[in-house]
Amino acid sequence: NGTTEDVKKIVATLNAGELPSTDIVEVVVSPPFVFLPIVKSELRPEIQVAAQNCWVKKGGAFTGEVSAEMLANLGVPWVILGHSERRALLNETNEFVGDKVAYALSQGLKVIACVGETLEQREAGTTMKVVAAQTKAIADKISSWDNVVLAYEPVWAIGTGKVASPAQAQEVHAGLRKWFEENISADVAATTRIIYGGSVSGSNCKELAGQPDVDGFLVGGASLKPEFIDIIKAAEVKCA
């Protein structure tokens, strides 16, 4: 999405917004690759930037790809990996995503790793099986979760206007936390942030943010609108 003009407008809105302090919420925005330098240079310093993807291994003759090394060189601290659109449209497998996460971490990047089920999988009752397999493929490749945020994005709720109810979101987040406890450690279960992504808006963010196992949001379309500030402020729900 976007032109330089659009991106500058969003940056101006964020720069002017009244945001909670960084000890309450960590704000990361993820413009397309071509806009990363301009956003990074013009955005207020407490808001960080993320790339929307990166290559699975060391840079080289992989035309059209952007390596983790390049992002590190630009001072981009975060990258989103395994987004449902890349899994669906570009056939990225669980194992491929696991390799990507491991390589990005090895280059000093922090990772927002996405997991989530399709409508067919939810209706078949396999939601937890699907997200556990996606999480396991990452766990198999990494030794520490310190720099990983897990984003649960029900594919059926992305850009559709359908939202998982707060109870549905909480159920999957709690299931993922339990998976961490049983398969990795109680410490990782307690400290890994699990954020929700799927048609989050200014009107539903507070109720979602109030769920005990929802630690934040991966915001899509609403991040392009002024209501993004309201969504960021929803972090204050748990401080009340």
Q: How far apart are CA 101 and CA 194, in angstroms?
A: 16
Query: Which candidate in 83, 92, 117, 173 is catalytic?
Result: 83
E strand intervals along the chain: 28-29, 48-51, 78-81, 110-115, 148-152, 194-196
How far from the centroid of its chain's Cα atoms is residue 236's Cα?
Answer: 19
Partners of 79 in the beta sheet? 51, 111
Query: Which candidate in 92, 117, 153, 173 is catalytic?
Result: 153
Tell the burial category of 76 from Cβ atoms under 10 Å away from its Cβ (0-12, 13-18, 19+).
buried
Query: Is residue 153 flagged as an active site residue?
Result: yes
CA dihedral 84, 88, 91, 95 (to 10 degrees): 40
E strand intervals along 138-237: 148-152, 194-196
Query: Is residue 173 flagged as an active site residue?
Result: no
Structural contact between residues 207 and 168, judged by C-beta atoms closer than 8 angstroms:
no
Contacts of 123 (CB under 8 A, 6+ apart): none
Which residue has 């952007």 as its token pair?
66
Structural contact between residues 122 and 79, judged by C-beta atoms closer than 8 angstroms:
no
Q: Which residues are part of the catalytic machinery? A: 83, 153
